[in-house]
Chains A and B, each alone.
Chain A
Amino acid sequence: MLSYAFLVHALLGALLTGTALAVLSPFVTLKKIAYMGEALSHIAFAGIALALLLGLNLSLTTLLFVVGVAALIGFVSRFFRTEESNVITIFLSVAMALGIILIALKKDYSFDLASYLFGNILLVNRSDLWQLGALVLANLLFVLVFFKELFYLTYNLAVSEVFGIKAKPVYYGLLLLLAVNIVVAVKIAGIILVTAQLILPASIAFRIAKRLKSAVAVSIVIAALASVLGFLCSWQFNLPTGAVIVMVEFVLFLLTLLLCRKRN
């Protein structure tokens, strides 16, 4: 059944998206910034709408928009001494509203909101796959080079700085890389799969693995397994691929909750 090139592309697309996000997932989960992934993916929506309205390069415009808004969130919460999580939620909802208004302004364009939420992994093309492949490599390289810094900054950022660890620059690097991942992955996989792939693989991995290093490896294996199983199920039962992958991963999560109870 995989003789169709587009099916192979779709499977690889799901696999690479899952792998890329799963590499970052343990750090995002430990630092408790999985909500940032969701927020950035919503903000990306406004970026996509802006690029469509002005006829600009989609990926670049969205990336600049997401990074710009993320920097603005940091500035507003620090300068006005406002709770960061509240500022993020405000910007998230405003970005969604802005995106919908921008889409409405572009009258000749019919935008499929469902495909944005769930993605459309069956439409993955060769250039998307190259982008995703580069992303997997970039994430792996980042984690390999800065593993020590990532380990300590997720443990406690302020204390890491006291001990002379370059925690803040690496943390900003992680956030920037997260933004790039989301911009690339969201148009392929959709908001829901992206959010799920950032939180579920690591949540499962930490129930199985004792050390952070092995948790990263388990997280990648779980995401890859869920992607392939989810893809096959969605093909078999003719269901939306992204949504089925999320459900498969959730079942794996429930299984580990039940099987690894004593470690909790």
Chain B
Amino acid sequence: MGYVPPWFYRWVLAAVVTLVIWLAWASTRTPEALWAPGHLSRYHAGVQSCMHCHEPFQGPTAARCVACHDVAGFRREAGSVADFHVGAVERQRRCVTCHTEHRGDTAPITIRPLHNPHGELVFLATGARSCADCHAFPDGLGGRPTLLDNALVGDLIEEGEGAHRRGGFARCADCHAGGRVESDD
């Protein structure tokens, strides 16, 4: 280190300070380019500001989400997904447990691809309005769901007369070919 004159370190400091000032200035002009881990999805392409969804040092909070995606909006929609979200908002669940962003404009906004192994048949047959009517999602939709022990599940098990059992519900189409409620047996 002895070969380096003191002025060299002053120049290094000046260069670093200049870099920081440039990044601070650029952050006000194009914050997504500097900080975002990826482009927003097509669903949120119109969002103009990072702070629209992010709270400082708290990340994307449910409070910011429901400012646009409120209960009234979900209630206006029909179907199990809307009901699930009404329940999630009313129970103040964290949206980021299941949802993510900044993965590109054509990427899904759920953390992992969602697949309902039962198809729509299960809603038709049981009267369930939402996945959460029969399942608990302890780690959000990214985790493995567990079957609830409630009247709806109990009725479904009873209805199967032995064919419906825990761990065997996913193969609905084996007996209910074509999505018929009445089985072939």
- Does B associate with A? no
- A residues adjacent to B (C-beta < 8 A): none
